[in-house]
Structure 1
């Protein structure tokens, strides 16, 4: 795994909608990102964010993995879609403001049709705070897909 750098070169999310701060490491099937939970989060308050935000942390981590792969091919990162999650288990009701979370995703399946499945977890220190499997879809041409009305 290598540490590819600034998250914004890999995902389209910007401003308050960019929830993941940086990529720590990225490999062929795995990625690790970092999130500093803000005290002024869009979906939280001064004490932190609800644990259900972990699903979006996981989704943006997977988006960064896909963006890293696109950059390696000399392409721009494209838009992908979170289709769903299975077995999301949070072992805490919230992620506390100021906490430095590590989000890990492992690609378990990536089809030629753009459908993928990832095993994810959120870790604080050595404690696993949340786990899930998430399903994603990255169409070959996201703009055409959205215009087709199939989305």
Structure 2
């Protein structure tokens, strides 16, 4: 069952400021997934203006921000502040396209596969409408980021 909240904006769910908020809107979410979308345009942060595209390797950041939306939704539902999280890495990143193209709208989906003490693994994919890229992404979200940074 879906709990889509069309009024939630990425700005409310991510601990980022523009221009680093890459996603346009939350499309859908559930207990273990979130779906978002974005359109490549002249204001897109990673746009190669000469070639009018975003190189596909930046797809990982779109996936990571989609995971951030999932975490932000969980915090909002629990009446907690949005917390910072960290992209630890990926075990695989498969690309079926060379770039994200100007004026195209893409769908990004992140599905939680594992979670334990702040460490999570998500399967992520970008579509237009066919699969463009997919990855398994490892993330970490400490309970208290200030205390976490003191320990480093």
SS in 1 for 2:108: strand
Answer yes or no: is 1:63 the counterpart of 2:64. no
Partner of 1:49: 54
Report how far residue 26 of structure 1 moved.
1.0
Q: Does the 8 Å contact 1:104/1:121 carry over to 2?
A: yes
The CA distance in 2 between the partners of 1:41 and 1:21, in whole Å, is: 10
Partner of 2:118: 114
Which piece of structure 1 moves more, 86-95 or 128-137?
Answer: 86-95
Partner of 1:2: 3
CA RMSD of aligned residues (A): 1.1
Q: Does the 8 Å contact 2:118/2:141 carry over to 1?
A: yes
The CA distance in 2 between the partners of 1:24 and 1:43, in whole Å, is: 22
Partner of 1:32: 35
Q: TM-score, normalised by structure 2?
A: 0.92
The runs of 5 or more residues in structure 1 that have no matched partner are none
Count of aligned pairs: 147
Matches within 5 A, 1:78-97: 78-97=83-102
Answer yes or no: is 1:75 the counterpart of 2:80. yes
